[in-house]
Amino acid sequence: MQLLFGRFAMSLEPDTKSILSWLAKQQDQMVTQLADWAAINTGTANLAGLRQLAELVEAEFTSITDHIDYLAVDPQTEVSSRGEVTERLLAGVLVGRRREKATRQAVLSIHMDTVYPADSPFQTLKLAGNVLHGPGVADAKGGLVVMLYALRALERYVEATGNRQLGWTILLNSDEEIGSLGSRNIFAQYGSDANFGLLFEPCLPSGHLIGQRKGSGNFEIVVRGQAAHAGREFYKGRNAVVAAANVARQLHELNGRWPDTTVNVAKIDGGGPNNVVPDVAVVRFNIRYPSQQHEAELSHDLERIVQDVPEGMVMSLHGGFFAPPKPLNEPYQQLLETVQKCGETIGLDLAWESTGGVCDGNRLAALGVPNVDTMGVQGGNIHSPQEYMLIDSLVPRAQLAFLTLISQVP
């Protein structure tokens, strides 16, 4: 939905103008920075790669933060194909702060992980004119570079004007691509006091922002039956795969119960040799929903499905709703309009669209922090080997974030 208001441009102070022109000269450095960071594989499971990137990123932010720390996070719990709950270690979060006693506080965030594992064939960068192809160049290392330069610009502004009333916190996590299962507590701990937030996920290929986002949940239902020899004692068996198929059908039937709520049965694990009645199956599924009020009703439905167990079998529900919906409420809309107005002053025509995709902006919104989450670079084909970003979006997006930040200085 496009919401355009009065096209009056902000009148820019001389300090602001000179910092915008300083930013305009940073494109080459920004590209070099991006190329260095994108060359390191940081698939969510690549803990060594993520640690290496975090050290390089920390070095760049040290001079503009009062302190920056690398915090460990809780491991992620996973359900194996045999229905066992296991733990997987996750890389940590860089938390940096500047002027934490200032009257107004911003939280800025983006993830360092990508969807490309260490053994992915998609590892190298390719430059073709204005287009840079490579893993994570748009989602979201380009955004990380934009954030760094916007904050460098803000600190120049603070030096020039002496106005120290805006403080900020950066949260750079390593597990966003799997739903920030480990870092969510750090968002609650360091993000919830902020007055507003900016996240640097890529904007849409058109340059537009994302407004409303659905919520999301990932679940597993483990079905346990009884193994038996298919020839000798078939009737002693309790077939977990058949029960799992029935669960899958019931889950699929939840589609259409509410408008815009979807249940995607993604995978069923289970079974083995043809002569064995299978004793374990795991149904894996994702739910997307537009409104918080659906969460309780959906939970109730899942409980009902799990309790409807065939005789001699056991079912258990794992997982949960990991990202609450991000509705377009009043403070959020105001912040989007502010970003839009800041865009107008540098010639960006910004509108916003809604999506079913989720990000850490959902989490911050649920903590009561209005935030615009697509302040990153212009690019596309994210989560695919065709991922690209547009080099000439680096400077304008850093200028946009800088102007938005100073528009919030008391």
Active site residues: 113, 176
Q: Is 140 in the site for Zn ion (CB under 5 A)?
A: yes
Half-sphere exposure of 394 (CA within 13 A, CB side): 28
Q: Is 360 in the site for Zn ion (CB under 5 A)?
A: no
Q: Could you tell me the smallest distance in angstroms from the CB atom of residue 393 to Zn ion? A: 16
Residue 255 is which amino acid? N
CB-closest chain residue to Zn ion: 139
CA distance 265 to 286: 7
| Bridging pattern class, strands 104-111 and 228-229 | unpaired
> In angstroms, how far is CA 29 from the centroid of its own chain?
26
Which residues, 218 to 277, sit near Zn ion by CB under 5 A?
none
The closest alpha carbon to 60, from 172, 187, 139, 157, belongs to: 172
Residue 73 or 248 with smaller CB distance to Zn ion? 73
| Bridging pattern class, strands 352-355 and 209-213 | parallel
CA distance 377 to 200: 8
Q: Could you tell me the smallest distance in angstroms from the CB atom of residue 111 to Zn ion? A: 6
The residue range among 25-33, 85-93, 137-145, 182-190 that interacts with Zn ion, by the rule CB under 5 A, is: 137-145
Residue 38 or 140 with smaller CB distance to Zn ion? 140
Q: Is 203 in the site for Zn ion (CB under 5 A)?
A: no
Residue 175 or 201 with smaller CB distance to Zn ion? 201
The residue range among 52-60, 125-133, 195-203, 370-378 that interacts with Zn ion, by the rule CB under 5 A, is: 195-203
Q: If you ran DSSP here, which 8-state letter would residue 208 be given?
A: P
The residue range among 131-139, 216-224, 228-236, 394-402 that interacts with Zn ion, by the rule CB under 5 A, is: 131-139
197-228 exposure pattern, b = at least 16 Cβ within 10 A, e = fewer: bbbbbbbbeebbbbbbbbbbbbbbbbbbbebb
Residue 71 is which amino acid? L
Residue 201 or 279 with smaller CB distance to Zn ion? 201
Size of the site for Zn ion (CB under 5 A): 3
Q: Could you tell me the smallest distance in angstroms from the CB atom of residue 306 to Zn ion? A: 32
Q: Could you tell me the smallest distance in angstroms from the CB atom of residue 40 to Zn ion? A: 16
- On whether the CB atoms of residues 107 and 197 are closer than 8 A, the answer is yes
The closest alpha carbon to 52, from 113, 110, 95, belongs to: 113
Q: Quote the radius of gyration of the chain (alpha carbons, Å).
A: 24
Structural element, H or E, at residue 269: strand 262-270
Q: Which of 139, 220, 301, 344 binds Zn ion (CB under 5 A)?
A: 139
The residue range among 23-31, 45-53, 133-141, 267-275 that interacts with Zn ion, by the rule CB under 5 A, is: 133-141
Q: Could you tell me the smallest distance in angstroms from the CB atom of residue 294 to Zn ion? A: 24
The closest alpha carbon to 326, from 378, 383, 369, belongs to: 369
- On whether the CB atoms of residues 67 and 82 are closer than 8 A, the answer is no
The residue range among 19-27, 199-207, 236-244, 363-371 that interacts with Zn ion, by the rule CB under 5 A, is: 199-207
Residue 146 or 280 with smaller CB distance to Zn ion? 146
Structure tokens, 109: 């965030």
Residue 167 or 361 with smaller CB distance to Zn ion? 361
Q: Could you tell me the smallest distance in angstroms from the CB atom of residue 197 to Zn ion? A: 15
Residue 281 or 377 with smaller CB distance to Zn ion? 377
Give the footprint of Zn ion on this chain (CB under 5 A): 139-140, 201
